């Protein structure tokens, strides 16, 4: 398989099912495992791309649709949750200019370091800011941003409702949450939910589109719109290699997961909601 361009570490080379992107590790909780696995990822990118900014983006069609929907313009303030290498924040910073602000948060210190280095290389330090923080405890006052975005991140957060509440809290009235994420189209087998590797690979923590809409509504967002990007999900999440690797184990649990994946249980969507 060619170099993994997806946001999640599930390429055949770095499969969650083979070497597992989450382990072996000393992590005690699933979120620590997520932090550790993405920390390693950002640290290795930092070490290998010292001469040029990393151009890793999450699912490209959904990413483009998010920017299209956001329409970053001069003076706008935007927060990106789980900003990783900072590419999206930097793309936004270029458009909001010195009167605006593009802010990224991530709980991985290596991600924050990499994003700050990338901002420096692009001369955007004054406009782009990166803070180490957890998505369920944002270090910003209420009503701070015109828009809050996230790309393939909420699937990795255990308390999704709290994360969505936080997004809504820091939004100004009339501001929008624009996010794209992994979703499920059918009930996920228990073994899949409980697999740390698949959780870190963005699939194990996915919930249905309806659950997302319900949680966004509960967070105080209205006028919720969704756009289906399931078609690209299989390639982006390397689901064929996940299924292939699992088939080898021949356990009942592995068979259930492969069936679920092959029957199209995993999808992808863009979701948009407005704060009253």
Ligand X SMILES: C[S@@+](CC[C@H](N)C(=O)[O-])C[C@H]1O[C@@H](n2cnc3c(N)ncnc32)[C@H](O)[C@@H]1O
Contacting residues toward ligand X, per CB under 6 A: 7-8, 31, 34, 38, 56-58, 82-84, 106-108, 111, 134-135, 151-153, 156-157, 202
Closest separation between CB of residue 156 and ligand X, Å?
4
Distance CA 44, CA 9 (A): 12
Smaller CB distance to ligand X: residue 152 or 261?
A: 152
Closest separation between CB of residue 259 and ligand X, Å?
25
Angle among Cα 103, 107, 109 to the nearest 5 degrees reads: 90
Reduced to 3 states, what is the DSSP secondary structure of residue 238? coil
Smaller CB distance to ligand X: residue 8 or 78?
A: 8
How many other C-beta atoms can be found within 10 angstroms of the C-beta atom of residue 208? 16
Smaller CB distance to ligand X: residue 91 or 153?
A: 153
Closest separation between CB of residue 35 and ligand X, Å?
6
Q: Could you give the maximum distance between any two Cα atoms of the chain, in Å?
A: 58
Smaller CB distance to ligand X: residue 31 or 146?
A: 31
Spell out the alpha helix ranges (H) of 127-265: 160-170, 190-193, 196-200, 209-218, 233-236, 239-247, 252-262
Closest separation between CB of residue 121 and ligand X, Å?
17
Quick check: 127 and 98 in contact, CB under 8 A? yes
Smaller CB distance to ligand X: residue 20 or 254?
A: 20
Distance CA 11, CA 95 (A): 32
Smaller CB distance to ligand X: residue 82 or 175?
A: 82
**DSSP-assigned letters across all residues of 50-110:** TTS-----SSHHHHHHHHHHH---TT-EEEEES-TTSHHHHHHHHHHTTTSEEEEEES-HH
Smaller CB distance to ligand X: residue 191 or 203?
A: 203
Smaller CB distance to ligand X: residue 83 or 274?
A: 83
Read off the tokens for 254: 């592995």
Reduced to 3 states, what is the DSSP secondary structure of residue 22? coil
Closest separation between CB of residue 80 and ligand X, Å?
7
Closest separation between CB of residue 128 and ligand X, Å?
14
Quick check: 96 and 128 in contact, CB under 8 A? no
Closest separation between CB of residue 92 and ligand X, Å?
12
Read off the tokens for 130: 């990166």
**DSSP-assigned letters across all residues of 141-164:** -TT-EEEEEEES-GGG-S-HHHHH
Closest separation between CB of residue 85 and ligand X, Å?
6
């Amino acid at each position: 398989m060619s170099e993994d361009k997806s946001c999640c570490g599930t390429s055949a080379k770095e499969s969650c099912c083979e070497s597992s992107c989450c382990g072996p590790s000393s992590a005690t909780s699933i979120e620590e495992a997520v932090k550790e696995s993405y920390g390693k990822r950002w640290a290795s990118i930092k070490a290998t791309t010292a001469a040029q900014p990393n151009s890793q983006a999450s699912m490209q069609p959904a990413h483009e649709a998010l920017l299209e929907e956001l329409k970053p313009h001069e003076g706008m303030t935007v927060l990106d949750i789980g900003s990783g290498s900072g590419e999206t924040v930097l793309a936004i910073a270029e458009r909001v200019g010195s009167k605006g602000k593009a802010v990224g948060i991530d709980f991985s210190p290596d991600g924050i370091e990499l994003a700050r280095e990338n901002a420096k290389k692009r001369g955007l330090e004054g406009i782009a800011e990166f803070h180490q923080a957890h998505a369920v405890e944002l270090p910003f006052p209420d009503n701070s941003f015109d828009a809050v975005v996230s790309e393939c991140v909420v699937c990795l957060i255990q308390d999704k409702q709290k994360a969505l509440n936080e997004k809504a809290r820091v939004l100004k009235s009339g501001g929008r949450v624009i996010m794209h994420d992994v979703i499920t189209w059918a009930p996920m087998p228990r073994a899949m939910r409980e697999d740390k590797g698949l959780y870190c690979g963005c699939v194990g923590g996915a919930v249905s589109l309806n659950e997302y809409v319900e949680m966004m509504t509960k967070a105080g967002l209205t006028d919720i719109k969704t756009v289906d990007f399931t078609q690209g999900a299989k390639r982006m999440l390397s689901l064929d290699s996940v299924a292939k690797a699992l088939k080898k184990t021949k356990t009942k649990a592995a068979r259930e997961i492969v069936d679920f994946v092959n029957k199209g249980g995993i999808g992808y969507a863009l979701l948009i909601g407005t704060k009253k």
